[in-house]
Every structure is written in C-alpha cells, then in structure tokens.
Amino acid sequence: MRIITLLMLSVIIAAAHPVDDFMDDFAAEWVRGAPTTASRTQYFEGAEQDALDGKLTPVTAAYQAERAALARRGLAELRAFDTAGASTETLRTVSVMEWLLDDTVRGAVHQDYQFPLNQFTGVQRRLIGYLASSMPIRHERDAENYVSRVGQLGGLIDDATAEMKRRDSKGLLLPDFILTATIKQMERFVAPAPEANLLATSLPERLAPWEGVAPATAARLVAEVVDDLNTEIYPAYRRAVVVLQDQLARATSDAGLWRLEHGEAAYATLLRHYTNSDMTPREVHELGLREVARIEAEMDEILTAQGFTTGTITERYRALEASIQPEGDTDPRPRLLQEYVDWVEDAKVRAAPLFDMLPRAPVIVKREPPFSEANAAAHYSTPAADGSMPGIFWVPLPGEPYRMISRRSLTYHEAVPGHHFQLALQQEMEGLPKWWAKRVFGGNSAYSEGWALYAEWLAHDDGWYDGDPIGRLGYLDSELLRARRLVVDTGIHAFKWTRQQVIDYGIKVSEAERYVVYPGQACSYKVGQLTIVELRRDAEKRLGNKFSLPAFHNIILRGACAPLQVVRADVEAWVKALE
C-alpha cells in the first residue's frame, strides 16, 4: 500500500511540474493556429472546436512565417525552464517536444522548397481527400462546417497558386514532368459536372448513417457545395492550371533539390527530419546499395524456383506478376479489394500472440477516390478521436496491371500490425500528453514508417509466409522497394539522378515522381526499420530467456512517434532493468 501511495504521489508531483503545464498550453496555442489539425484531432470542445472545424489552415508564406516564429518562441521558452526535480517521464516528454520544435525551426528555413501544388503532397489533392473522406461529419453542424470549408477552398487554391508564382519569381520551379502530372490531376478534378464532383457526392453518403438531418437540409447543403464548385472552386483550379502551364513552358526535367539554390542544405535538413539521424546522403546511399544486393539475392532464389531465370530481378518479378493478372471480362477490383479485407482479418488473428497492446478502434479497407487514384500510393488514415470514423486503409486500384504479388505485405504495412496498430494505439494510449498522443506537431516518419516496415519484417520473421513463396517474394519486393528508395532518393536530390535513371533502377513512374516532391521521406522506412530490428536483436542477445517479444513491442509502441533517439533510450532503460 505504501508503494502504491508513493507511486500515486510521484504522478501527482510530476503532473504538477510547471514545464508540463507550459507544454500543454503551448500545444493548445499551436493547434488553435491550425484548424485542420484541430479537426483531425478534435483537440478542443464546444464552441472553440466548432469554430475551428469551419476553417481551413492557410498556405501563405505569411502564415508559415508566423508558425516558424511561434515554434522559435516555444523552443526558447521550453529550454529556459529549470527542470530540476521533474520526473523521468516529464524529462522524456520535454525531450520529445524540444526535438519536434527544433526540427520545425530547422525546416522553416527551407519552407519554399515545399511546393503547395504538386501531384502527391499538394493541397489540391490532400485537402480534397481530407474533406471528402476523413473530416468528421457526425451531425448537421459538422455538415455546415464542411460546407463552410468547401466555400473557402477556392480562395485557398488561389493562395496556393500565388505561392507557386512567388516561388517562380525566386527561381524555384517544379520539374516539367511534375507540373504535367499536377496539371492532369487538377484537370481530372474539374472534368465532371459540379454535382458529380466528389465534394458534392460524398456529403449525402457521409450524412446517411446519422439521424436528425432532414432531407431538405441535406439537399440544401449539397446545393451550396455544387454552387461553390461551380462559381469558386472550379474557376480557381482552372486559374491554377493556367499558371502551371506557363511554368511548364519554362521548366526543365532536372529533378533534385540540388538544382535549386541552397538545395544541398535543404536536403540535409529534410534527411535529418525523415531519418532522425545525422547520416549523410552518401551514407544513406551506400546503405541502400548494400540492402539492395542482399534482398535481390534472396529474391533470385524464389524467382528461379518459380521458373523465372532470365533478366534482371525487376524484369523477372514483373514477368511473374504479369502471368498472374486477373483474367476474364469482369472487373476484378471488387474481388481484389475484398482480398485486402480478408488479409486484415487474418492478420489480426496472427498478430494477437505477439502483442499485449491492441487498438480498440477498428480498421476498414476503402478504395482510393477516382480523382487521385492514378497518382496515389496506398496509405492509412487514423480513426477519429471520438470514434465516429474507423482507421482506413486506402487502396488505389486504377486499373491494369494490378499489384498482385505484394498485397499481403502491403496489408501488414498499412493496417495490421503496421500503421493501424501504431497510430490508433497512440491516439488511445493513456498517460501520454494530449498533444503527443494526437501528433499535433506532425508525425515522425522514421518512427511510423519504420514501425510499418518492421511490421512487414515481423510477419516474415514469424512465419506468416510459410507455404506461400509468392507471398514471401512480395514481402521481399516490398523490402527491396524501401532499400531502393535509399538509393534513388539520395540519387535524385544529392547525386543528380534523372527521372529516367530512377525508373531504370526498377521504380514505378508514380513512385519516382513522388520522391521528387517529397525529398527525404522515402529514406525513413528502411532507416527506421533497421533501427527497430537492431534494438530488438540487441535486447534478445542481452536478455536471453528474459526477453519477451510482446513486452518489446510495448516499449516500441509506447514510443508513440517519438524521435528514434528517445525510443532507443526507452529500450535501453527496459533492458537494463531486466539484466
């Protein structure tokens, strides 16, 4: 009883430390300035939350400067605190916020190297996907806020277009092939009649499960969206296309950040951000080459056993995939989508003995919306904090040829036990400060993508592919892609690789174009995964029979998107306590 009392007292003392209150207050201030973050996290309550749910986060340079100034102020104030007497957990929390704010400040210097209109991370794509699929709509007021946001979208696209022009005036242009892809995507968005646009058609579908919204009200809201599309949004998209077409006429095919003034420094900052390390581009590049050689040797054995012996690994893999494409006149996509659903359910059963912590939130599989499907990669969106939306594993199925071999591994990466376990658990985890649990300062790709790739490795290591050599080949191909990413991301941005060189290295066109507009991010997967595997192997060696895989997973998952330096310290403390 005395021990329990002392533990309770220590929690009270830790919670009362002034730096804890500062971090909570600063995070709330940060979220108030980012309405879409506020909606994604449902950070506040009542009128304050409602007001933010009806606004969009700006994309202007002035807004970015305000955010950078706020981050600098918060970092300085955090570092000024005397943390003597703070609990170990408070000190750990301080180290996380300090890293996040410092990283934000570093990145702000190179903000102009992030282009607001592009085919992958552009606001014209991601915001549409968020509004039509992920913004919480639970009742009439949410629907009113949705319509309010749609009404602001035209102005936001105009702001993004102005930012593209401002970058142009500084000599910062996207490569010609990226501009072409972005223009085509925006033209696809405005191709249907306004009433057939995703922003209009998705609203009644999302209102359908909720009672209390009169049909006349729903019809009025949809009519307002259609009017906004017709009078504000479509014209803004078309104005943007005109500007991008003008830039296209002057753009080159040079792909990497090296082409831009201070591009080398910008890439170094982004590489640090996405790998949580000080690895140089050369070190990352050479790590990738070593991993590629190892993985291709394993793939060669399987391909040879399957009778595919001629050509490169990529050529033989594609030949095998071509040989197992769906046949017949019936559209295979509903069946392919259902197979993803089945694999998610199977993975839940297989994962149960390996984990003590399982998310309460469900995960579902949905097809990527048509307007973005051609350029989209599979991805996961987190459940709504209030339970009104499940986690969603988004699967693009644009058409032939279909991904066939690596679909199981993709399921483990995006859903179970990958992103869904990590991100849903983080949101549900007790004891984390709200700002940390809800990732209000952004995610940490080295952790989250490292975990998701570790989840793929875990399935392989635990024998999930026993008796399924094609599935195992798919896993290896997935791992090969992440190893190749180390090579091509650094190749593009540091070593002047062309788009064609990347494609010739075995990378699909949409992937190659993604790396161009998302510098450094592709390196996070393999660096993060190798870090987690290294930590596990070290713990297994040091603990022997005392090692517990579920307990190790608890430590990693409780890292909750922390910088990998913090996760490493967590594992070291756990191991030392058991040695």
CB-side neighbour CA atoms (13 Å) of 263 = 21
Give, rounded to a whole angstrom, the gap between the first and last alpha carbons of the chain. Answer: 27
For residue 9, name the pLDDT band (cuts at 50, 70, 90): very low
State the pLDDT at residue 213: 84
State the pLDDT at residue 51: 97
pLDDT in tens, 203-227: 998 888 777 788 899 999 999 999 9
Q: Kindly calculate the radius of gyration of the chain based on its CA atoms and give it in whole angstroms.
A: 24
C-alpha 379/C-alpha 338 separation (Å) is 17
Residue of higher predicted confidence among 3 and 219:
219
pLDDT at 388 over 90: no
C-alpha 507/C-alpha 484 separation (Å) is 8
Q: What single-letter DSSP state applies at residue 144?
A: H
State the pLDDT at residue 207: 86
For residue 19, name the pLDDT band (cuts at 50, 70, 90): very high
State the pLDDT at residue 205: 86
CB contact at 8 A, 381 and 451: no
Query: Angle CA(318)–CA(319)–CA(325) in degrees, nearest 5?
Result: 85
The SS3 call for residue 481 is: helix
Question: Considering the chain, what is the average pLDDT of its residues?
Answer: 94
CB contact at 8 A, 97 and 28: no
Report the candidate in 30, 13, 179 with the shortest Cα–Cα distance to residue 86: 13
Packing angle, helices 88-108 and 564-578, rounded to 10: 160
pLDDT at 479 over 70: yes
pTM, whole model, 2 decimals?
0.90
State the pLDDT at residue 376: 81
Handedness of CA 541, 547, 549, 550 (dihedral sign): negative
CB-side neighbour CA atoms (13 Å) of 471 = 16
Summarize the chain as % helix, strand, coil (round to 5): 70, 0, 30
Residue 393 main-chain phi, psi, to 5 deg: -95, 110
The SS3 call for residue 33 is: coil
Query: Angle CA(182)–CA(419)–CA(102) in degrees, nearest 5?
Result: 75
pLDDT in tens, 140-172: 999 999 999 999 999 999 999 999 999 999 999
pLDDT at 16 over 60: yes
55, 222, 421 from 151: Cα distances, Å: 10, 12, 35
Handedness of CA 89, 91, 92, 98 (dihedral sign): positive
Tokens describing residue 114: 């992030």
Which amino acid does the sequence have at 305?
A
CB contact at 8 A, 200 and 194: yes
State the pLDDT at residue 4: 37
Tokens describing residue 317: 């893999």
169, 238, 473, 476 from 405: Cα distances, Å: 46, 39, 7, 10
Cα torsion through 522, 526, 531, 535, rounded to 10 = 140
C-alpha 435/C-alpha 487 separation (Å) is 35
Tokens describing residue 148: 């309010």
Handedness of CA 107, 108, 111, 116 (dihedral sign): positive
Q: Is 502 exposed, middle or buried (0-12, 13-18, 19+ CB in 10 A)?
A: buried
Quote the percentage of the chain above a pLDDT of 70.
Answer: 97
Tokens describing residue 272: 């640090």
Strand 379-381: give its sheet, edge to edge.
363-367, 391-395, 379-381
Average pLDDT over residues 366-371: 86
For residue 110, name the pLDDT band (cuts at 50, 70, 90): very high
C-alpha 138/C-alpha 141 separation (Å) is 8
State the pLDDT at residue 1: 35
Preceding omega of 401 cis (within 30 degrees of 0): yes
Residue 530 main-chain phi, psi, to 5 deg: -65, -35
pLDDT at 2 over 60: no
**In the block, which residue shows the tokens 């991008």?**
244
DSSP β-ladder status, 391-395 and 379-381: antiparallel
C-alpha 35/C-alpha 156 separation (Å) is 13
For residue 15, name the pLDDT band (cuts at 50, 70, 90): low
Which amino acid does the sequence have at 297?
A
CB contact at 8 A, 525 and 450: yes
pLDDT at 95 over 60: yes
For 80-183, strand residue ranges (E) read none
DSSP bridge pairs for 367: 395
In whole angstroms, what separates CA 381 from the centre of its chain?
A: 8
